[in-house]
Amino acid sequence: MSEFILETKALNKSYGDVKAVRDFTVGLERNKIYGLLGRNGAGKTTFLNIISSRIFADSGEVRLFGYNAVENQEALAKICYMPEKDLFIETARVSRILKDAAIFYDNFDMEYAQRLCKKFDLSTGKKYKALSRGYESIIRIVIGLASRAPLTIFDEPVLGLDAAVRDLFYRELIADYESNPRTYIISTHLIEESADVFEEALIIKDGMLVEKLPVDELKEMARYVSGKASVVDDAVSGMNIVHSEMVGNVKICAVFERLTDEKLRMLASGGADVSPVPVQKLFIYLTEQNQEVVK
Amino acid sequence: MKLDFDNEKSIYLQIAESIEDDIIKGNIDEETQIPSTNHMAVIYRINPATAGKGINLLVDRGILYKKRGIGMFVTIGARKIIQDDRKNNFYERFITTLLEEANNLGIKTEEIIEMIRKGGRSSE
């Protein structure tokens, strides 16, 4: 059996002329938390819809828990996918939705779901259509966490939630992950606050997987180099530059590659300043449409 | 333990440093248990693997050890290990940056020494 619980090979999906997912090949391991990071329209949701068999790819293969995923009930029963929208019956009450979830997901823990409702202040007597945007997110969080599904997928789980509730979600996820390890895929564009929750980041741009790296490494690979233009140009020559700008007479470049101690010393040797790049900025540079390439 | 991290260094290094700080300052005694990886992961809101990486770093250096089925404990002599390591790194960590900034500001070495003397007296 494969070491991966989810494996895709050369997935492609187009809508008319738009290639939503392109040549997407990836393998995800058991019991890791993955962040799926991409800008609006990058193909995150299409990718998630394909791996959960909500839609079908034009070409390519999805294997879940070692099985071909297409219409394979055994494999699909191990997934809980909480999409961003279009999921529940408008007129159903929260309590009804939870009961349905308990039937649908084999490992669903109703007692835990009830505790989560209290923690997140979600009243189970309310009808779904009466919930505010924030509580629409919360009911997805409750079901996703309580499903205890071996592969739990959240698409933009914290939309419409204030900072305190987002914080509660991340902590709850980590706490439950410890006692009930499973694989998570969490798509988000709020990277700064969630990056450290992920073990690995999958960065998607124009439907393609551009990076798949442990978050630690991702951060260690990026540095700002700034100083006099000539000094900076010398320091970064031959390196992978993902961003560059002038602030007055000072040039600031962001480099992104495996930085050995020797390379770090080289960067600083000419008198240039070397400093870390915040992860949200790095994400912007990696997914920018027009990366300025400096020679 | 501190509750926030900066961008300067990898989180697992900061976890390790924060535990070291507590040992050096006497907030955690030798032969006592440190918080579990799980607990730290939730408090810091980080991936448990990252917390584990930080703790393993200290295990490798003989600062922490595992009691099977109980948890992680501070070894006897941990304080000394940390102090020795930090003394070795003192020049790199503090003096180099100090001299760099002094150089930018045009502060002479004699002036720095005088400042250190003054600071030393006031804390004595």
Q: What is the DSSP string of chain B?
A: --S---SSS-HHHHHHHHHHHHHHHTSS-TT-BPPPHHHHHHHHT--HHHHHHHHHHHHHTTSEEEETTTEEEEPTTHHHHHHHHHHHHHIIIIIHHHHHHHHHHT--HHHHHHHHHHHHHHH-
Decide if B47 and A198 are in contact by the 8 Å CB cutoff: yes
Decide if B12 and A216 are in contact by the 8 Å CB cutoff: yes
Decide if A197 and B44 are in contact by the 8 Å CB cutoff: no
CA–CA separation, B25 and B29 (whole Å): 9
pTM of the model: 0.88
* Residues B93-110: tens digit of each pLDDT: 899 889 989 998 999 999
| A-chain residues near B96 (CB < 8 A) | none
Chain A's closest residue to B5, CA to CA, is: A196
Alpha-carbon distance A284 to nearest alpha carbon in chain B (angstroms): 17
Residues A182 and A144 sit within 8 Å (Cβ to Cβ): no
| B-chain residues near A177 (CB < 8 A) | 48
Within 10 Å of residue B93's Cβ, how many Cβ atoms? Answer: 11
Tokens for A46, please give them: 């299409």
Q: What is the pLDDT of residue B3?
A: 64
Decide if B42 and A199 are in contact by the 8 Å CB cutoff: no
| A-chain residues near B10 (CB < 8 A) | 216, 219-220
Alpha-carbon distance A130 to nearest alpha carbon in chain B (angstroms): 32
Cα distances (Å, whole numbers) of residue B27 to B23, B32, B34, B53 = 6, 10, 11, 22
Decide if B50 and A196 are in contact by the 8 Å CB cutoff: yes
Q: What is the pLDDT of residue B1?
A: 63
If DSSP codes are grouped into helix, strand and coil, which group holds residue A143?
A: helix
* Residues A36-51: tens digit of each pLDDT: 999 888 999 999 999 9
If DSSP codes are grouped into helix, strand and coil, which group holds residue A130?
A: helix
Q: Considering chain A, what percentage of its residues have pLDDT values greater than 90?
A: 75
Q: Measured at the alpha carbon of residue B107, what is the angle toward residues B102 and B113, in degrees to the nearest 5?
A: 90
Q: Which amino acid is at B1?
A: M
pLDDT band at A292 (very low <50, low <70, confident <90, very high): very low
Alpha-carbon distance B77 to nearest alpha carbon in chain A (angstroms): 30
* Residues A197-215: tens digit of each pLDDT: 999 999 999 999 999 999 9
Alpha-carbon distance B67 to nearest alpha carbon in chain A (angstroms): 19
| Contact residues of B toward A, CB < 8 A | 5, 7-12, 38, 41-42, 44-50, 53
Q: What is the pLDDT of residue A41?
A: 87
Q: Measured at the alpha carbon of residue A64, what is the angle toward residues A109 and A57, in degrees to the nearest 5?
A: 115
Which DSSP symbol is given to A138?
H
Q: Select from A193, A198, A216 the residue whose CB has the most chain B CBs within 10 Å, as the one to mutate to test that interface.
A: A216
Residues A207 and A24 sit within 8 Å (Cβ to Cβ): yes
Residues A267 and A225 sit within 8 Å (Cβ to Cβ): yes
pLDDT at residue B122 is higher than 60: no
- Interval A243-269 mean pLDDT: 90
* Residues A119-165: tens digit of each pLDDT: 999 999 999 999 999 999 999 999 999 999 999 999 999 999 999 99
pLDDT at residue A294 is higher than 50: no
Q: What is the ipTM of this complex?
A: 0.82
Alpha-carbon distance A168 to nearest alpha carbon in chain B (angstroms): 10
Residues A176 and A10 sit within 8 Å (Cβ to Cβ): no
| B-chain residues near A197 (CB < 8 A) | 45-47
Q: What is the pLDDT of residue A293?
A: 44
Residues B29 and A238 sit within 8 Å (Cβ to Cβ): no
Chain B's closest residue to A196, CA to CA, is: B46
Those residues whose C-beta lies under 8 Å from the C-beta of residue A167, and which sit 6 or more positions away, are B45
pLDDT band at B121 (very low <50, low <70, confident <90, very high): low
CA–CA separation, A8 and A59 (whole Å): 11
Q: Which pairs from B66-75 meet CB under 8 Å and 24+ separation?
A: B67/B33, B70/B33, B71/B33, B71/B34, B71/B36, B72/B33, B72/B34, B72/B36, B72/B37, B73/B31, B73/B32, B73/B33, B73/B34, B74/B23, B74/B28, B74/B29, B74/B30, B74/B31, B74/B32, B74/B34, B75/B30, B75/B31
Decide if B42 and A171 are in contact by the 8 Å CB cutoff: yes
CA–CA separation, A79 and B89 (whole Å): 49
CA–CA separation, A155 and A46 (whole Å): 11
Higher pLDDT, A170 or A290: A170
Phi, psi of A277 (to 5 degrees): -105, 125
| B-chain residues near A178 (CB < 8 A) | 38, 41-42, 48
Decide if A197 and B10 are in contact by the 8 Å CB cutoff: no
Decide if A174 and B48 are in contact by the 8 Å CB cutoff: yes
* Residues A63-104: tens digit of each pLDDT: 999 888 877 888 888 999 999 876 788 999 999 999 999 999
